[in-house]
Structure 1
Amino acid sequence: MGAPLLEVKDLKVEFKRPGGVVHAVNGVNFVLEAGQSLGIVGESGSGKSVTMLSLLGLIGRTGRVVGGSAMFNGVDLVKMAPRELQDVRGRDIAVIFQDPMTSLNPIMKIGAQITESMRMRKIYSAAEAKERAIELLDRVGIPQPAKRLNDYPYQFSGGMRQRVMIALALALKPKLLIADEPTTALDVTVQAQVLDLLESLQDETGMAMIIITHDLGVATNYCDNLAVMYAGEIVEMTSVDRLVEHTSHPYALGLLNSTMEIGHGKTAIQPIPGNPPSALKVHKACPFAPRCRFKSSVCQERKPELATVEPNHLVACFHADTVVKAAQQGDDAAAEVMLNVAQPIHA
């Protein structure tokens, strides 16, 4: 088996602020194979977007990568010069940003925005670029694509603007597509249409995809694997099926318990108590411990490492075995399990 498409090791990202240094990403590790889809989930501020944008040099002048590597097709993105990264962006790695209205140029016609990267890189002639743009708009479901090339972003609905963003991202046939909260501000029906479109485009092109989202339902329905982030770290990573059936981190369990599913009935939603910790501090102990119902003294003394509990299942928790039992036994049995927290599995 060859090298993975993207391998991130011990990535650390900081931002300088007047109040101190913000430790946004604290040693993230993951592997993405060609053609795979990875969902990165977590609360706002957990480091999801920063992790991916830092690989492409899109975190601004106050942000910097202070450690780690990101091997993409055998080349370390972290060590690339800005001009080299500019060549990678759009061509090999494309991004769909959260808000298409602010991502698209409001005074530039849609056709010009889609063809810009093709013309700048001299991959297509002007006529070929226009045909490619029409083809892309048609593929993403824009009616009368040839006519709509001459329209401005304000002439499209929110869902249609997101489709335009997808067309723009696919213009140069990237190997990896990063979708950063691709359904923000869209109604539920349009969300499903956009996500179904991304899934079908991935199947057609064979590209890998990373979906960044705070919505666990989106990630479980449209991704192969999941990485759950908290306080700038990945705390659980495995396949979608295994995470749902063998949830092993208290934060991941909290996300599942606070998600409403069809047929949920009168079962009470269980929100996660408390708030995320400050990113101005370097955490010496488990950052989730103050909000965790499974914590013990060891959790407040040192930080658990992301360790393998089963093949293709990594968890950063001293009490992963107990969390699995509580998740599988249900809420009633969980109360008793919590009163008798097991000894740490790798204390």
Structure 2
Amino acid sequence: MIPIYTSKYLGQAEKLHIIHVDMDAFYASVEEHDNPKLKGLPIIVGGLSNHGIVTTANYIARKYGVHSAMPIFMAKQKCPRACFLPVRMERYKEVSRQVFHILYGITDLVEPLSIDEAYLDVSNIEINPIEIAQKIKEEVMKKTGLTMSIGISYNKFLAKLASDWNKPNGLKIITEDMVPSILLPLPVKSVYGIGKKTSKRLNNIGIYTVEDLMRLSEEFMVEFFGKSGIEIYNRIRGIDSREVNTTRERKSLGTERTFSKYTKDKEILKDYLHRFALEIEASLQSKNLQAKTITLKIKDIQFRTQTKSKTLNNYISSYNDIFELAVNLLDEIRLTQDIRLIGLTASNLITLKLEQLSLFD
């Protein structure tokens, strides 16, 4: 049952206009839905080869310490009885389209973040945002059989924070009067704009929580974080002026990984490119984009960076095209030193027209 929220939020409906939706362990949940025999078992999606990388793990597998981007051999050590499954991207895209059709039936103010995640601005809808969130959850369950977690607030940072609050199948509201007290005990890594490396740097100087961050001056934040310092200073105080952007022009889209164990084994590197290609395909298609240029980046243990690019005559967005180009680019590079970082980027992007449906008709 989706929780019915009391009237205490109804007077704040005008301010609670940002909704963040996030499917729960998306790939693994699709696999479990399609094969009910998997229910109750730890599921790890990413492949069967020990050289592969975990793409998604369900919540049962996560209890064993398995997480995305972990090598498959390590996931097998942590959770040997898990069901290891290959990635079925076409199926995940099919389900993603169903989910986004539901979102566009609510409003055209949708900002896709990935194949299974998006922001909505519902300020132009004369329906309480909590009712909208419940409607979305009900429709997604009805059409796909899957659960999603939803956060509702008055800005993007807090809405995303709320959607992560009580996964899976969560629904959390963060109102203006909850801030900053609700944020104070959170670890610094919970703040948008603070990644793992920055979090460790903060821990090294005794900053572990948002409450610790709040004690820092704006000047120190700018000196420590650079140009994002003011944004983070405001964010932890509940201020985030970013709008839901439906027409954001992306110059490039990609991902990279720094290895804990350096390697020049091309088969291992190709496994990473396989995962990157899947991620880029999902991001391109969720944002309705296509790319014309694919760029491979590697950095060796001497911190020397090499890049290789290929620009096509036509636009692409499929995993097969992206992966094939990435492998060809890798094969053109002569590896004389172990590699500490590999990355893949799609650029020269073009936006396709999105379809809007009407859920409330």
Q: TM-score, normalised by structure 2?
A: 0.27
Q: TM-score, normalised by structure 1?
A: 0.28
